């Protein structure tokens, strides 16, 4: 079963709750005051199953009265689609537009409009209302189908179900693969079970027995039981309403708007960079909904449409999240989306100069922002909820000890390191900690930089300049190590930067053997091959040697001919006979 969350929307008394009951059989008015007043005050919940496409459509019924706009925002923020209800006898009213604009602020652009109470009007008025509604939807930037319905006669109810089904069957379910995020709307105690938190799973999956982090409180708790609409389940996924039993949690510490997260999955922050079409004023104070949580904040303008948002409490955001902005009086202004949930550098000039990268290539922006500390895949995931693709950093960054550093930075550091090493003598040396401090880098980065400085060597905790003899010795050791596992062509070594003089010297000193045809082998590997061939007995054939050593003819024949040249073997027909130990072997 897959799940999809829709929110109702519409003016008070336009029939949202009655329509949900007609669709699902569930009355979402659950509070005594709601029953008494016949008015939705808080959020209500229901569901509609479509077994043939294996999808459960979850409904969040939001209040339509203007005094409860914050409750409405808290409900719509979890949704991926909208069921807008308009009373045909009244037409579009203030909360109809307000709820539409909340949906637009949150990036919700899919759904259905139900033109309700059509049993009360004639065809002429119905047609007029449809035209009015189509014009308003177009003006507000929505392209939603309209279905005429009546909960008294049940006219249009099946058509509405079909419309909803056609929309949700094509919804993407990639949110299930992202780190867990549950928006909590309530917490209570159940006798025999302890604390239960209820909310909407907007991303990820959660299983019975797993640990969750309750944020922003940094409380880690273990899941004992899970429910979806009163039924115990072993797992919940994105798009699903969920009740989570957390026995070790104090319910009084949890408020509406808190998050259930996979521990360590996201970063909390009081500052973020946002993008919006709203004209925000630095001197003003704003109310901001981040998920279901409301907080207060102020902004600092970076450039037209880009602001640094500073809020009063730590919240959990990720890049791409949508937030809703209200003025200090609680009037809806519109929405913004998060460009950067945790800016390390908040200087206006830094951000403004790199605004294109921030908007279009977040990886490159982070490379510059985190500079000498490096960009890790874990940091990227905690900022975006997604994995870092190394392919996006090819030709742009070097990977050092699991972190990425821009090539420009590394080359600049190499230049500075070269200056620091110019006056270094073989006798004095320089402490590595001093070099790290001067360059402002970690030990692993310093070691990486020093790879290009072959005339220097690390001894203990200090760096010394190599003498000529030491440099030659290191070059010889590197060459023999390179040849310790395979027979290698000389031209390949030269292309890799090995100097010809060191190859000649290694052959002269017996550290390396020239097999002819430009093939080289270390003395140690040659002796290893001889020992393995002796295991074949007093004599062996070419095929037996090939099977024993696993070499192709390109390398095997020169090797065997070299053994003949050394006097170790003598060839007789198709076989070779061990002649004598040869050169002390």
pLDDT in tens, 379-424: 999 999 999 998 889 889 999 999 999 999 999 999 999 988 887 7
Count CB atoms within 10 A of the CB of residue 355.
Answer: 17
Q: How confident is the model at residue 53 (pLDDT cuts 50, 70, 90)?
A: very high
| pLDDT recorded at residue 506 | 81
Q: How confident is the model at residue 471 (pLDDT cuts 50, 70, 90)?
A: low
| pLDDT recorded at residue 259 | 95
Average pLDDT over residues 444-464: 82
- Which of these three, 237, 261, 285, is where a domain ends? 261
Judged against a pLDDT cut of 60, whether residue 583 lies above it is answered with no
Q: How confident is the model at residue 33 (pLDDT cuts 50, 70, 90)?
A: very low
13 labelled catalytic: yes
Q: Do both 163 and 126 map to the same domain?
A: yes
Prediction pTM value: 0.76
17 labelled catalytic: yes
| pLDDT recorded at residue 458 | 74
CATH number at residue 566: 1.10.10.10
| pLDDT recorded at residue 304 | 95
| pLDDT recorded at residue 431 | 85
Asked whether residue 124 is assigned to any structural domain, the reply reads yes
Structure token pair of residue 193:
């079970």
Asked whether residue 573 is assigned to any structural domain, the reply reads yes
Asked whether residue 46 is assigned to any structural domain, the reply reads yes
Inter-residue contact 160 to 20 (CB < 8 Å): no
Which range marks the domain in which residue 317 is found?
268-368
Q: Do both 59 and 145 map to the same domain?
A: yes
Q: Do both 245 and 275 map to the same domain?
A: no
Q: Give the β-pairing of 403-406 and 219-222.
A: unpaired
Q: What's the count of helices (H) and strands (E) in the chain, helices before strands?
A: 19, 34
Asked whether residue 481 is assigned to any structural domain, the reply reads no
Catalytic pick from 8, 14, 17, 295?
A: 17
Structure token pair of residue 70:
């914050």
Mean pLDDT lowest among 76-90, 205-219, 381-395, 468-482: 468-482
Judged against a pLDDT cut of 70, whether residue 4 lies above it is answered with yes
| pLDDT recorded at residue 510 | 86
Asked whether residue 471 is assigned to any structural domain, the reply reads no
Q: Do both 347 and 419 map to the same domain?
A: no
Average pLDDT over residues 530-544: 92
Average pLDDT over residues 216-233: 93
Q: Do both 244 and 287 map to the same domain?
A: no
Q: Do both 554 and 535 map to the same domain?
A: yes
Mean pLDDT lowest among 59-63, 209-213, 472-476: 472-476
| pLDDT recorded at residue 346 | 96
| pLDDT recorded at residue 236 | 95
Asked whether residue 489 is assigned to any structural domain, the reply reads no
Digit-coded pLDDT (tens) for 54-90: 999 999 988 745 566 788 888 899 999 999 999 999 9
| pLDDT recorded at residue 69 | 78
Q: Do both 149 and 296 map to the same domain?
A: no
Q: Do both 10 and 30 map to the same domain?
A: yes
Asked whether residue 226 is assigned to any structural domain, the reply reads yes
β partners of residue 50: 55
How many domains, in total, are found in the chain?
Answer: 5
CATH number at residue 139: 3.40.50.300
Catalytic pick from 8, 11, 14, 16?
A: 16
Mean pLDDT lowest among 48-62, 78-92, 100-114, 463-477: 463-477
CATH number at residue 305: 2.40.30.10
Q: Do both 232 and 278 map to the same domain?
A: no
Q: Do both 27 and 122 map to the same domain?
A: yes
- Which of these three, 337, 368, 399, is where a domain ends? 368
For CA atoms 87, 93, 99, 104, give the dihedral sign. positive
Count CB atoms within 10 A of the CB of residue 453.
Answer: 16
Asked whether residue 572 is assigned to any structural domain, the reply reads yes
Mean pLDDT lowest among 37-46, 186-195, 215-224, 259-268: 37-46
Mean pLDDT lowest among 113-117, 265-269, 492-496, 556-560: 492-496
Q: What's the order of all strands across the beta sheet hosting 462-465?
A: 430-431, 462-465, 456-459
Q: Do both 150 and 6 map to the same domain?
A: yes
Cis bond upstream, residue 225 (ω within 30): no
Question: Which of 66, 57, 62, 64 is closest to 24 using CA atoms?
Answer: 57
Task: Give the H or E element holding residue 81.
Answer: strand 81-87
Q: Give the β-pairing of 2-9 and 375-376.
A: unpaired
Catalytic pick from 65, 104, 337, 414?
A: 65
- Which of these three, 261, 284, 302, is where a domain ends? 261
Q: Do both 198 and 334 map to the same domain?
A: no
Inter-residue contact 197 to 254 (CB < 8 Å): yes
């Amino acid at each position: 079963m897959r799940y999809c969350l829709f929110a109702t929307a519409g003016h008070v008394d336009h029939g949202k709750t009655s329509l949900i009951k007609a669709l699902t059989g569930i009355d979402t008015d659950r509070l005594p005051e709601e029953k008494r007043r016949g008015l939705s005050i808080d959020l209500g919940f229901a569901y509609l199953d479509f077994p043939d496409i294996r999808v459960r459509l979850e409904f969040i019924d939001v209040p339509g009265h203007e005094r409860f706009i914050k409750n409405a925002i808290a409900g719509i923020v979890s949704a991926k689609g909208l069921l807008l209800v308009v009373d045909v006898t009244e037409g579009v009213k203030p909360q109809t537009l307000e709820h539409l604009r909340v949906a637009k602020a949150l990036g919700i652009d899919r759904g259905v409009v139900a033109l309700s109470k059509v049993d009360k009007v004639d065809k002429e008025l119905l047609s007029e209302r449809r035209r009015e509604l189509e014009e308003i939807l177009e003006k507000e930037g929505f392209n939603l189908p309209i279905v005429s319905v009546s909960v008294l006669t049940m006219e249009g109810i099946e058509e509405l179900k079909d419309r909803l089904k056609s929309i949700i069957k094509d919804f993407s379910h990639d949110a299930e693969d992202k780190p867990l995020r549950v928006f909590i709307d309530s917490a209570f105690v159940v006798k025999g079970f302890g604390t239960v938190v209820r909310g909407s799973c907007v991303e990820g999956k959660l299983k019975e027995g797993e640990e969750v982090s309750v944020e922003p409180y940094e409380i880690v708790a273990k899941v004992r039981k899970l429910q979806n609409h009163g039924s115990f389940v072993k797992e919940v996924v994105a798009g699903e309403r969920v009740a989570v039993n957390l026995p070790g949690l104090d319910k009084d510490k949890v408020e509406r708007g808190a998050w259930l997260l996979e521990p360590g999955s996201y970063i909390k922050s009081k500052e973020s960079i946002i993008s919006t079409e709203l004209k925000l004023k630095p001197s003003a104070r704003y109310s901001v909904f981040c998920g279901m949580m409301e907080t207060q904040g102020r902004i600092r303008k970076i450039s037209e449409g880009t602001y640094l948002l500073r809020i009063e409490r730590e919240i959990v955001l990720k890049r791409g999240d949508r937030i809703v902005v209200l003025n200090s009086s609680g009037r809806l202004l519109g929405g913004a989306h998060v460009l950067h949930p945790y800016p390390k550098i908040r200087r206006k000039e830094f951000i403004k100069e790199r605004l294109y990268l921030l908007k279009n290539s977040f990886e490159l922006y982070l490379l510059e922002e985190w500079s000498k500390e490096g960009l890790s895949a874990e940091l990227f995931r905690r900022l975006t909820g997604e994995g870092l693709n190394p392919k996006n950093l090819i030709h742009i960054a070097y990977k050092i000890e699991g972190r990425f550093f821009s090539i420009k930075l590394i080359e600049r550091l190499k230049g500075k390191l070269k200056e620091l090493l110019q006056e270094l003598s073989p006798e004095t040396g320089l402490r590595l900690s001093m070099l790290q401090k001067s360059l402002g880098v970690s030990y692993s980065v310093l070691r990486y930089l020093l790879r290009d400085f072959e005339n220097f060597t690390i001894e203990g905790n200090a760096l010394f300049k190599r003498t000529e003899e030491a440099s030659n010795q290191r070059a010889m050791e590197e060459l023999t190590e390179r040849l310790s596992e395979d027979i290698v062509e000389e031209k390949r070594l030269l292309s890799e930067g090995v100097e010809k003089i060191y190859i000649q010297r290694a052959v002269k000193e017996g550290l390396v053997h020239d097999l002819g045809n430009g093939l080289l082998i270390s003395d140690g590997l040659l002796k290893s091959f001889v020992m393995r061939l002796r295991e074949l007995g007093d004599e062996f054939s070419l095929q037996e040697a090939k099977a024993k050593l696993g070499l192709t003819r390109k390398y095997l024949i020169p090797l065997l001919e070299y053994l003949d040249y050394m006097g170790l073997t003598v060839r007789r027909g198709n076989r070779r006979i061990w002649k004598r130990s040869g050169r002390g072997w």
